[in-house]
Chain A
Amino acid sequence: MSIAAEPILRAQRLSKRFGGVVAASGVDLAVAPAEFRCIIGPNGAGKSTLFSMLCGIYRPDAGRILLKGEDVTRLPAFRRVRMGLGLTFQTNRAYHLLSVQQNLEIAARAAAAGRDAETEKRFNYAVSLFHFDSEDDRPARELPHHQLQWLEIAMVLAGGPEILLLDEPTAGMSPDETMQTAGVLQHLNETGLTIIVVEHDIAFVRKVAQIVTVLHQGYIFAEGTVSAITAREDVRKIYLGRTQ
């Protein structure tokens, strides 16, 4: 990762409040191409709000979002997705009533613009990522929890994103499953995918993160390498809920 590279995703002074609650206050973020970034912070720090603004679910009250150098602050979500952004939600939102096969098919078709060969290629790729069964016609809700998480990640990857935003992808997974997930993501990152993950699991963060951003009460509290961040006493303090 080169410091000089133009950021593939940049947020400038993003602010958002919900009534009296300040969810984001002047957040600046610059993520380089092929970077693996982790965003950590206590509950309510504004991590999910930041993701929601980046992908277009919420419009920020102030600030700008640049995707591949282009201002996307006012673009609807699906346009940002077509520009190369992908997101999984904090609570799993694969289609629980549709079959595993249909889930992946709908996802693969979205980016293929109706071309059958392209759809099939993307479908097979998504199936292969976590070794799904391409003819699995069980409703997705019957999958074990970790596979449901993998299914949503595979669906987003079927779209061939350049930047992947994952909101607590390993929540509820066993340590073993968490490490498997980390392995797949790391491999994708090595092939050039930019990944930004909101995560609480510090073992996961240590394994994958190149840079860690600490959010606290809607602003960026600290940013740096994993070892530098985890060594800081003040970061530990906010994580334990003691604010200074």
Chain B
Amino acid sequence: MTAAAAGLWRLINGREDIGRTPWFWGPALAVIAVFALLPLEATEFEAYNVAYYLLNVPMALGLSLLWGYSGVLSFGQVAYFGIAGYTYGVVAGNLAPSPWAPVIGSAAGLALAAAVGAVFGYFVFYGRVQAWIIPILTLVFTLLLETFLGQTAGYQWRIGHVQLGGYNGMTGIPSFQLGHLIFSGYAFYYLALVITLVTYFGCRILANAHAGKVLLAIREDVLRTELLGYDIRLHQLGVFVLAAVLAGLSGLLYVQWGNYITPSQLGLVPAALPVIWVAIGGRERLLAVVIATYVLNWINYSLSGAGNEYAPVVMGALLLGVMLFFPRGIIVTLSSGWRPNARKGAAKRDAVFDENGR
């Protein structure tokens, strides 16, 4: 038991993410505590807003694993976000009076996101599509889906008794519910917080596990990795499906938060946003992605709440600035600068290495 716990701790505290010392874990636990206690101070409305900044984190983490850790850029994460959201709306909406409708709807949403991701990923990776074509394919898929859903306005576009709703979107989507506990207000805030934390630590464990190292190897050299005997197609497909499921998780939280979804969630601007969050924080580090996603969603929400169109302009300008001055992302660049002993240690090891006669 303790051996298993120690093993788990090694995976959580591995080298493939920011922060491994008590100087990190102390403040990190303090931040988690602040979030856990937030409802004591915040109104239900404020907690609901914070939940919105959090609910995009799983999608961003999936993109970080896919792009930052595996080297495959996707512009189509919102497609899986939308698939899960719409599926939840249809399934939970049809089963509506049943208290288990939201659970079944959530499972169906994630399952369909995974299935579509698997089919798409199968053709891309088993067809050995060149890496730079993949972003285009994913974006095209997203825009196709948006266009399709946009023309579902008529009454004939209904599944069961749920209307797809065209560009007006699907409304009246049920909130999440477990038995008789309905997750709205503070309860939804805690749901979003717990899912954010669980997906973050889950991704961190994966990144530090052997599977994560293989992803790093594939990112650096696909052919070398295949010629060590790895079936790279399978690994790439696996991380692609995982990223689709995580985007689906964000989509579920989104429709359970706002009780509606429209095809514009799958449009060009929303498709670019996850790429912007991940790039600005630093795609190679999960924690950087979590922080950037939270902060940028907060900025975005505050700007669009003011009732103007500044938000996309500000996001675009931020992305441009980061690409020019911090190509690895702001948070990743800052955090790698904060290790004054790194070089000294390496120099010492060089010396030891040479003493051994090599």
A interface with B by C-beta (< 8 Å): 55, 57, 76-78, 81-82, 86-87, 89, 93-98, 102, 105-107, 109-111, 114, 130-133, 136-138, 142, 147, 155-156, 159
Asked whether A97 lies within 8 Å of B220 as measured between CB atoms, the reply is: yes
B interface with A by C-beta (< 8 Å): 210, 213-214, 216-217, 220-221, 223-232, 346, 349-350, 352-353, 356-358
* B227, B346, B350 interface centre (most CB from chain A within 10 Å): B227
Given A78-B227, A78-B229, A138-B346, A133 and B353 touching (CB < 8 A)?
yes
Cα(A155)–Cα(B217), bound, Å: 13
Asked whether A106 lies within 8 Å of B229 as measured between CB atoms, the reply is: no
Cα(A131)–Cα(B357), bound, Å: 9
A110 to chain B, nearest CB (A): 4
Asked whether B346 lies within 8 Å of A78 as measured between CB atoms, the reply is: no
A51 to chain B, nearest CB (A): 11
Asked whether B210 lies within 8 Å of A109 as measured between CB atoms, the reply is: yes
Name the prevailing secondary structure of the B interface residues.
helix
Asked whether B229 lies within 8 Å of A82 as measured between CB atoms, the reply is: yes
Partner of A147, one of B213, B224, B232, B358: B358
B216 — which chain A residues lie within 8 A by C-beta? 95, 98, 102
Asked whether B228 lies within 8 Å of A131 as measured between CB atoms, the reply is: no
A94 — which chain B residues lie within 8 A by C-beta? 224
Asked whether B226 lies within 8 Å of A77 as measured between CB atoms, the reply is: yes
Partner of B217, one of A86, A89, A106, A159: A106
For the complex of A and B, the 5 pairs showing the least CB-CB separation, nearest first, are A81-B229, A110-B229, A110-B228, A93-B224, A95-B220
A86 — which chain B residues lie within 8 A by C-beta? 227
B350 — which chain A residues lie within 8 A by C-beta? 138, 142
A93 — which chain B residues lie within 8 A by C-beta? 221, 223-224
Given A81-B227, A98-B220, A106 and B353 touching (CB < 8 A)?
no
Asked whether B349 lies within 8 Å of A138 as measured between CB atoms, the reply is: yes
Closest to A180 in B: B358
A107 to chain B, nearest CB (A): 5
